[in-house]
Amino acid sequence: MILGRVVGTVVATQKDEKLQGTKLLVVQQLDMELTPKSAYLIAVDTVGAGYGEVVLCVTGSSARFTKFTKDKPVDAAVMAIVDQLEVEGEVRYSKHQGT
Amino acid sequence: MILGRVVGTVVATQKDEKLQGTKLLVVQQLDMELTPKSAYLIAVDTVGAGYGEVVLCVTGSSARFTKFTKDKPVDAAVMAIVDQLEVEGEVRYSKHQGT
Amino acid sequence: MILGRVVGTVVATQKDEKLQGTKLLVVQQLDMELTPKSAYLIAVDTVGAGYGEVVLCVTGSSARFTKFTKDKPVDAAVMAIVDQLEVEGEVRYSKHQGT
Amino acid sequence: MILGRVVGTVVATQKDEKLQGTKLLVVQQLDMELTPKSAYLIAVDTVGAGYGEVVLCVTGSSARFTKFTKDKPVDAAVMAIVDQLEVEGEVRYSKHQGT
Amino acid sequence: MILGRVVGTVVATQKDEKLQGTKLLVVQQLDMELTPKSAYLIAVDTVGAGYGEVVLCVTGSSARFTKFTKDKPVDAAVMAIVDQLEVEGEVRYSKHQGT
CATH of the domain at D66: 2.40.50.220
Q: What is the pLDDT of residues B68-81, one digit of tens each?
A: 999 999 999 999 99
Q: How far is CA A36 from CA A40, A91, D41, E63, E82, in A?
A: 10, 17, 16, 33, 43
Is the CB of E61 less than 8 angstroms away from the CB of D61?
A: yes
Range of the domain at A80: 2-94
**What is the mean pLDDT of the segment spanning E4-10?**
98
> pLDDT averaged over chain B?
96
Please tell me whether residue B92 adopts helix, strand or coil conformation.
strand
Q: How far is CA A71 from CA A17, A68, A76, in A?
A: 12, 9, 13
Q: How far is CA B67 from CA A69, B45, B70, in A?
A: 15, 11, 7
CA angle D5, E10, E47 (to 5 degrees): 140
Distance from CA of D97 to the nearest CA of E (A): 14
Domain count, chain C: 1
Please tell me whether residue E62 adopts helix, strand or coil conformation.
helix
Question: Are B36 and B67 in contact, with CB atoms under 8 Å apart?
Answer: no
Residue type, C14: Q
Does C52 map to a domain?
Answer: yes
Strand partners, C8: C26, E87
Q: How far is CA E99 from CA A52, D88, E86, in A?
A: 57, 20, 11
Is the CB of B12 less than 8 angstroms away from the CB of C81?
A: yes
DSSP state of E87: E
Closest partner CB to D60 (pick from E7, E13, E61): E61
Does E79 map to a domain?
Answer: yes
Does B99 map to a domain?
Answer: no
Q: What is the pLDDT of residues E24-77, one digit of tens each?
A: 999 999 999 999 999 999 999 999 999 999 999 999 999 999 999 999 999 999
Please tell me if residue E31 touches chain C, with a CB cutoff of 8 Å.
yes
Separation of alpha carbons C34 and B83, rounded Å: 32
Question: Are E23 and E9 in contact, with CB atoms under 8 Å apart?
Answer: yes
Separation of alpha carbons E22 and B64, rounded Å: 31
C52: left (phi over 0), alpha (psi -120 to 50) or beta: left
Does D99 map to a domain?
Answer: no
Separation of alpha carbons B63 and C62, rounded Å: 9
**pTM passes above 0.80:** yes
Distance from CA of C15 to the nearest CA of B (A): 23
Does E77 map to a domain?
Answer: yes
Of residues C98, C6, C17, the one with CA closest to residue C53 = C6
pLDDT at D98: 54
Separation of alpha carbons B54 and D48, rounded Å: 45
Does C99 map to a domain?
Answer: no
Q: What is the pLDDT of residues D15-39, one digit of tens each?
A: 999 999 999 999 999 999 999 999 9
Residues of B in contact with C59 (CB under 8 A): 75
- A77 vs B99, more confident: A77
**pLDDT in tens for each of the 99 residues of chain A?**
999 999 999 999 999 999 999 999 999 999 999 999 999 999 999 999 999 999 999 999 999 999 999 999 999 999 999 999 999 999 999 998 755
B25 Cβ contact list (under 8 Å, min separation 6): B6, B8, B9, B10, B42, B43, B44, B45, B49, B78
Strand ranges inside A21-61, DSSP E: 24-30, 36-45, 54-59
pLDDT at B40: 98
Closest partner CB to C86 (pick from B9, B16, B75): B9
Does B87 map to a domain?
Answer: yes
Does D27 map to a domain?
Answer: yes
Confidence of residue B98 (pLDDT cuts 50, 70, 90): low
* C-E contacts at Cβ under 8 angstroms: 99
